Structure 1
Amino acid sequence: MRVLILGGYGNFGQIIAQHLHKIAGIQLIIAGRNLVKAQQFAGKINAEAIQLDANQTDLANILKQQQINLLISTAGPFQGQNYAVAKAAIEANSHYIDLADGREFVCGINILHEQAQQQNVLVCAGASSVPGLSSAVINELLPAFSELRIIEIGISTSEKIPGKSTIEGMLAYCGKPIKQWVDGVWQNRFGWQNLSTHQFSEPVGKRSVAACDVPDLSLFPEYYKGVNTVTFSAGTGLKLTHYGTWFFSWLIRFGIIRKPQKYAAILHKNSLILERFGDGNSGMYIQLTGLDKNKKPLKLSWELIASANDGVNIPCLSSVALTRKLLTDKLVARGAMSSMGLLTLDEYLAELAGLRITTKLHELYPFS
């Protein structure tokens, strides 16, 4: 399988490539706008390198010439992005996977469903922690419930800063209204506000999290019938970075800052300076509340704890697991869809081998 990673020398692109190049039967092509950077990284993992821009009009032809079987796009931010790359992959009869976290982008990918089915390819948006891993966890725990009422998801990252495009994506909703399904109605929360705390297991401990916008907020109320609340929160392990972003969100909300994305580069640079003060620990939780098979109250909390900055792998492993399934013909889905439900929890956790990452399941009491 010839797999092209668009943005392959970026933060997430490199992590995906480092996982995939260990899998027999895959030939990697590292692609991006800077050919020198692509060649430098490709040389480290015995991969090919080409210069490629997501906006090229001849993208489909290049994919055909390169005989690409799968294109993985890490070229964000996906907020406000169109589906040109996915369309080019379909035209080239290539599977397509991206790491999009943009709510509208992921939820709207199904407009390409018929085209993708006609070409017998998979077009998968949002192959990341959410909804790829989050839906896998929920589907694993769902049989314990006769009724599922509340889904609460949260992520607290380590000090390791993602790429500038990821920060641009966050700034797209920071300080702006986010619709969340709460108590059976759509309510507005504001990006990186509505602060709360969550007690993770050690060594992460207590962390502050804030409201963030992800595809799950739209997908889960529709898919998991009867659920009356779906929330998502996120934060960073460094308090200065976390509360600094919270303060920045108020400047946006009050209209003092009108074009927040233009500050992405300086925020990224300053955050990199602060990395030295972090502890390398990160965590994710998914809490499900409802009734068990005997109609008694039940609350389960699934937790992932990562140390030594291995948590940066988590958003990338959905695409790795999906690629493995495509390679072995274990993924039969065709058409355009989100990553929701395409992986089992076991398939995802199998990709954690060798990483300093553990998972736990807690049944929470008292609860009424």
Structure 2
Amino acid sequence: MADSPQVLILGGYGNTGRIIADLLLTFTDVSVTIAGRNASKAEQYALELGRKFTPTRVTWKVADAADAISLDRVLLGVNLVIVASSTSSNTHNVARAVLRAECDYLDINYARAKLKILEDLRGEIETAGRCFVTDGGFHPGLPAAMIRAAAEQMDELIEAKVSSVISINWSKLFFSNETMLEFVQELADFSTKELINGEWQEAGWGKMVRHVDFGGKFGLRNVYPMWLEELSALP
């Protein structure tokens, strides 16, 4: 499948990377490279995917997001890099390597510092004609897209509230130290800002808790405001 698009997934053997790789191989004709620092895990999952799909569509490589030489080596011939690892601290390194390799970029990480780094590189990215998609996960990622989709179906959108419930058995998942650190940082950066009368305002304690009926097995749940950078471009 040498002529098929080449997608490299940093952290391709992690919780999210595994799902992304499987979905890409199921629903597209791309070839996938599983990449990460752990050679054994990368090879093992690549072999597993090769048995499930076509072996020639899957390969693996060792890559360290903190090592520019390592990134340059694995990005040769790649069309799209998907960052599914907890490497927000290495965003500048990865983005620079992607630009040198003249490929495109998508990440699923949530980190305000990462957004600042990518924004600073906006000029170079646009000049190079590359496509960089950031915050491409569940949250952030879907809320703004859902609001835009809803707005296209209406003459005028006055108010939009996106609610979600996450019900996961965390004990069945393994998280790296980097992932846990990013999660702690996400909590530290947590903001309850809402758009009220045209201005972003922190929700007061009295208005913070809301009730949403998600139906089915999820039922009525308490929800809390969570501001995401992607929402700032909507009003």
Gaps of 5+ in 1: 225-368
Give the aligned partner of residue 66 of structure 2: 55
Match of 1:71 among 49, 64, 81: 81
Query: Is the alpha carbon distance of 1:214 and 1:136 closer, same or farther for their aligned partners in structure 2, counting shifts above 3 Å?
Result: closer
Q: 2:151 corresponds to which residue?
A: 142
Matches within 5 A, 1:24-43: 24-43=28-47
Deviations 1:302-356 (Å, cap 9, x if unpaired)? xxxxxxxxxxxxxxxxxxxxxxxxxxxxxxxxxxxxxxxxxxxxxxxxxxxxxxx
Q: Matched residue of 2:187: which SS?
A: coil
2:192–2:226 CA contact under 8 A, matched in 1? no
Q: CA deviation at 1:81?
A: 5.2
Q: Deviations over 1:94-144 (max 9, x none)?
A: 111110222453465232222223333211111112454323322222144
CA distance in 2, matches of 1:210, 1:100: 21
- 1:325-344 → structure 2 map (5 Å cutoff): none
Aligned partners of 1:177 and 1:127: how far apart in 2?
18
Q: Which of the residues 122, 128, 134 maps onto 1:113?
A: 122
Residue 133 (str. 1) matches residue 142 (str. 2): yes
Which residue of the other structure, out of 19, 27, 30, is the alignment partner of 2:23? 19
Aligned residues: 217
Aligned to 1:223: 234
Q: 1:14 to 1:144 in 2, by over 3 A?
A: closer
Q: How does 1:166-315 map to 2 (within 5 A)?
A: 166-174=179-187, 178=191, 180-183=193-196, 184-188=198-202, 194-216=208-230, 220-224=231-235
Q: CA RMSD in A?
A: 2.7
Any runs of at least 4 consecutive aligned residues in structure 1 with deviations exceeding 4 A, and if so which?
A: 164-167
Q: 1:36 to 1:73 in 2, by over 3 A?
A: same
Distance 1:60 1:176 in 2: 29
Farther-moved stretch of structure 1 (96-105 vs 82-91): 96-105
1:11 offset after TM fit, Å? 0.2
* Change beyond 3 A, Cα 1:54–1:223: same
Q: CA 1:143–1:83 in 2, change beyond 3 Å: closer, same or farther?
A: same
RCO greater where, 1 or 2, for CA within 8 Å and sep 6 or more?
1
Query: In 2, Cα distance between the equivalents of 1:15 and 1:93?
Result: 26
Instruction: For residue 149 of structure 1, give the secondary structure of its aligned residue in structure 2.
Output: coil
Identity of matched residues, %: 24
- Which deviates more, 196-205 or 129-138? 129-138
Structure 1 residue 64 displacement after superposition: 4.4
TM-score (ref. length: structure 1): 0.52
TM-score by length of 2: 0.79
The Cα offsets for residues 205-234 of structure 1, whole Å up to 9 and x where unpaired, read as 112233445323xxx34333xxxxxxxxxx
Structure number having the greater helix percentage: 2
CA offsets per residue over residues 175-215 of structure 1, 9 Å max, x none?
6662613423333359xx94433111212211223344532
Alignment check: 8 A CA contact 1:2 1:68 kept: yes
**Given the superposition, is the C-alpha separation of residues 177 and 34 from structure 1 closer, same or farther in structure 2, using an over 3 Å criterion?**
closer
Question: Structure 1 residues 221, 151: closer, same or farther in 2, change over 3 A?
Answer: farther
Contact 2:7 2:79 in 1 (8 A): yes
